[in-house]
Structure 1
Amino acid sequence: MLMKKYVSLYIHIPFCALKCKYCDFLSFDGESYGTMLRYVDALCQEIKLYAPIADEYNVRSVFIGGGTPSILDEGLITNIMAFIRKTFKLEKDAEITIEANPGTLRHQKLTGYKSAGINRISIGLQSADDEMLNKLGRLHNYDQFVASFKAARRAGFDNINVDVMSGLPGLTIHSYVDTLSRVMEFGPEHISAYSLSIEPGTPFACDQEILDSLPTEMIDRRMYEVTKKLLSANGYERYEFSNYSRPGYECKHNMVYWTGEEYIGFGLGASSYFQGKRFNNITNLVQYITTMEEISPKFVDCPNLELLYNEGVRRIRENITPMYIDSRMEEFMFLGLRMMCGISRTDFEERFKKDIYEVYGPVLRKYIDQGYMATYEDRIFLTDMGIDVSNVILADFLLDKE
């Protein structure tokens, strides 16, 4: 009997009501409802393409991200979930997340999402300060977040994440603590706390006034420390550099990335790690939609769905990179070491048929001796001191540095 293989799915919804001033994700604002309908239909056809190989896999998690997925009404999300279920077998305890912005949620939409099988919602608050939200280009205010969170609870969601950001222009430690405190009052199961990164090409990157008002490195560092202290004191366990949860509510989908498991990305520009290769979908919206519209009629009376699958993925995949053993070992280390529990020596050996010290002995011993890394039973992990300089340490796990 063949061993069942596992995969996770990422679904990209590239639409927003208004693009945030710091965002460099592949997303568009101002698209018509008709374009969204055509896109969702194309997305469903891409999912359907995988029917010839889907039986080999059980799905552990689904993450619907964007963009702003909650810009779609409950009917469209229901259609997407129906195609996923028709094509793939979902584990009984599969985690199914949708990202949402406050102000895009209402009770009917949330109950529709719940009925479609969504069991986790991630709400992008970012700040409890309305003036800051306006500066960021967010369309919602804090009261809308409160209403959205309460509506999600009423709709039956018992696994909610809230995103907050530090390092924002003009942000003080007092204001940041206020945001964290207000969020914790609602008791979300998970909190993601990220520091703002200024990305080239975004409005923020071109705004000198914004750049001049960013917190100093020392203040940003204090925000990082207060995040750990406050969330820990209120029952949240830090399990990855920027992620905190109640026990048992770690994000399964994120764990897929950090543990090097396979996932398939569906939709415009979506990235995948599947069947030993990394690749992404094409990033031209019109090309993606028209390609899938050309393929869709071929499903009718198609004598060989595997040939259709091969044609479809050939036309929408790009940047295909085989992941050879050295690349996989590197990713195992610098993704796995983002987790507080670090990596498993046994897992490394089972995956790569080598002892971890045979490959990384000198690097591991150096950082363990210096106190930047530590071991406990089978685990190897970064200490607090190591996390502070993690970029330098993780770069040392590249096997070909020349």
Structure 2
Amino acid sequence: MNNISIYVHTPFCKHKCYYCDFASFANNEDLINEYYKSLKKEIILRKDEINSREISTVYFGGGTPSYVDSKYIVDIMDILKSEFNINKDAEITIEANPESITDEKLENYKIAGFNRISMGLQSANNDTLKKIGRIHTYEKFLSSYEPCKSAGFDNINVDLMFSLPNETLNDFIDSLEEVIMISPSHISTYSLILEEGTKLYDNYRKNNIIIDDTLDRKMYHYCINKLKEYDYEQYEISNFAKKGYESRHNMSCWDFEDYIGFGSNASGFNNNIRKTNKSNIKDYINDLNNDTLPIMEKTQLNIKDLIGEYIMLGLRKIKGIDIDKINKKFNIDFTDTYKDKIENLKNHNLVTIEDNHFRLTYKGLDFANTVMVEFI
């Protein structure tokens, strides 16, 4: 059978960022121990879903995995290694925030088998960091980044956001250039999205603030062109990597490969079935204490849904969709089935077909969602 990936969710963080709508919670330290006991139990109860398939990537996300004591992370990795067949060259990532990284944690992560760290910076401007609810400074980020390198992590991603509150083009350029100077192997850049229910959303709505779309696109395209100058290849809409350092875990998702999600609110896709766990930490723990899987939603995707998701995810990749592969996977003639849609989008210079790949044009990157909706 094909390889499979694993995602492990940590719902805890020290402080909820003002833009964050993920299933993460501050001030729940009393639940940490019970949560990880339940997480171990879920892994054991669901191990038959993986069987003997080889694990190609493992990703610990959150929340903030680096916030909790590293013993919990190490315990989970030990369970995964004992129960599953993890490829000796597997990419194993942990998300970390600057304020919670310590030398001891880094050493323990390395011993446990982690070989990639994804660090949340978001901005090199301390005033901007305060405005979005980050609790670290840029100086703290730098003092955390260097120990990661010293601990032997040469595969480090840095997250950077743009279109942040009151951020000018020059502000973003300064942040980008600061990140370029430390030369991480991978950079992820995201435009601020105001999600309902977040503190920033409420603030923008209350004060009738809108995001300047023109400025947003200037920042994005400046980022694309500047990173190219420094040998960062854009391989996905929001992701740039030095050669050989593309995120294999994310690529497996965009390639529509199977993955299992463990933990509260974790989602997975396996054998054409999508499952999502309950997001409430107490509900998650209670279900597993009663030997019940904490599944909130389970959906069997039909062929239309499968093709739609395959196209949507594939278009996120800069190289696009291999037409031979989609034809073989779904027994279709892609260019004939979607002939009218493709021609219309080509006429607007949003997509192209080159080297038998269907992909977004440079202009199309700005209208990716518009293009994707055509196929869902």
TM-score (norm: length of structure 1): 0.90
Q: Does 1:342 align with 2:339?
A: no
Question: Deviation string for 1:126-153 (max 9, x for gaps)?
Answer: 0111111111111111111001110100
Name the SS for the 1:207 alignment partner. helix
1:139-178 → structure 2 map (5 Å cutoff): 139-178=135-174
| Inter-partner Cα distance in structure 2 for 1:91 and 1:172 | 45
| Inter-partner Cα distance in structure 1 for 2:85 and 2:206 | 47
1:36-75 → structure 2 map (5 Å cutoff): 36-75=32-71
Give the aligned CA root-mean-square deviation in angstroms: 1.5
Return the match for 1:232 from 223, 228, 233.
228
Q: Does the CA-based 8 Å contact 1:5-1:56 persist in structure 2?
A: no
| Inter-partner Cα distance in structure 1 for 2:207 and 2:271 | 42
Q: Does 1:218 align with 2:214?
A: yes
1:373-388 → structure 2 map (5 Å cutoff): 373-388=351-366
Q: Does the CA-based 8 Å contact 1:168-1:214 persist in structure 2?
A: no
Q: Does 1:9 align with 2:9?
A: no
The aligned counterpart of 1:389 is: 367
Residue 376 of structure 1 deviates from its aligned partner by: 2.0
Change in CA separation of 1:349 and 1:209 when aligned onto 2, cut-off 3 Å: closer
The aligned counterpart of 1:359 is: 337
Q: Which amino acid aligns with 2:15?
A: L
Q: Does the CA-based 8 Å contact 1:50-1:87 persist in structure 2?
A: no
Change in CA separation of 1:203 and 1:397 when aligned onto 2, cut-off 3 Å: same
Long gaps (5+) in structure 2: none
| Inter-partner Cα distance in structure 2 for 1:216 and 1:52 | 49
Q: How many residues align?
A: 376
Residue 205 of structure 1 deviates from its aligned partner by: 1.4
The aligned counterpart of 1:320 is: 298
| Inter-partner Cα distance in structure 2 for 1:251 and 1:66 | 17
Change in CA separation of 1:222 and 1:374 when aligned onto 2, cut-off 3 Å: same
Q: Does 1:274 align with 2:252?
A: no
Name the SS for the 1:139 alignment partner. coil
Change in CA separation of 1:242 and 1:59 when aligned onto 2, cut-off 3 Å: same
Name the SS for the 1:374 alignment partner. strand
Change in CA separation of 1:209 and 1:348 when aligned onto 2, cut-off 3 Å: closer
Residue 211 of structure 1 deviates from its aligned partner by: 5.5
Greater displacement, 361-370 / 235-244: 361-370
Q: Does the CA-based 8 Å contact 1:28-1:67 persist in structure 2?
A: yes
Name the SS for the 1:99 alignment partner. strand
| Inter-partner Cα distance in structure 2 for 1:174 and 1:213 | 20
| Inter-partner Cα distance in structure 2 for 1:104 and 1:337 | 35
TM-score (norm: length of structure 2): 0.96
Change in CA separation of 1:23 and 1:330 when aligned onto 2, cut-off 3 Å: same
Residue 256 of structure 1 deviates from its aligned partner by: 1.8
Return the match for 1:21 from 12, 18, 23.
18
The aligned counterpart of 1:204 is: 200
| Inter-partner Cα distance in structure 1 for 2:73 and 2:366 | 40
Name the SS for the 1:320 alignment partner. strand
The aligned counterpart of 1:260 is: 256
Q: Does the CA-based 8 Å contact 1:169-1:210 persist in structure 2?
A: no
Greater displacement, 364-373 / 280-289: 364-373
The aligned counterpart of 2:111 is: 115
Change in CA separation of 1:367 and 1:37 when aligned onto 2, cut-off 3 Å: same
Greater displacement, 246-255 / 372-381: 372-381
Long gaps (5+) in structure 1: 296-311
Structure whose CA Rg is larger:
1
Give structure 1 regions of 4+ aligned residues with deviation exceeding 6 angstroms: none
Name the SS for the 1:28 alignment partner. coil
Q: Does the CA-based 8 Å contact 2:123-2:160 persist in structure 1?
A: yes
Q: Which amino acid aligns with 2:146?
A: K
| Inter-partner Cα distance in structure 2 for 1:386 and 1:209 | 29
Name the SS for the 1:63 alignment partner. strand
Q: Does the CA-based 8 Å contact 2:235-2:319 persist in structure 1?
A: yes
Residue 116 of structure 1 deviates from its aligned partner by: 0.5
Q: Does the CA-based 8 Å contact 2:6-2:262 persist in structure 1?
A: yes
Q: Does the CA-based 8 Å contact 1:161-1:189 persist in structure 2?
A: yes
Name the SS for the 2:3 alignment partner. strand
1:285-300 → structure 2 map (5 Å cutoff): 285-295=281-291
Q: Does the CA-based 8 Å contact 1:171-1:215 persist in structure 2?
A: no
| Inter-partner Cα distance in structure 2 for 1:210 and 1:252 | 41
Name the SS for the 1:92 alignment partner. strand
Name the SS for the 2:92 alignment partner. strand
Q: Does the CA-based 8 Å contact 2:272-2:306 persist in structure 1?
A: no
Question: Deviation string for 1:338-387 (max 9, x for gaps)?
Answer: 11000011111221011212321221233234432222222111111222
Question: Deviation string for 1:112-136 (max 9, x for gaps)?
Answer: 1011111100000001111111111
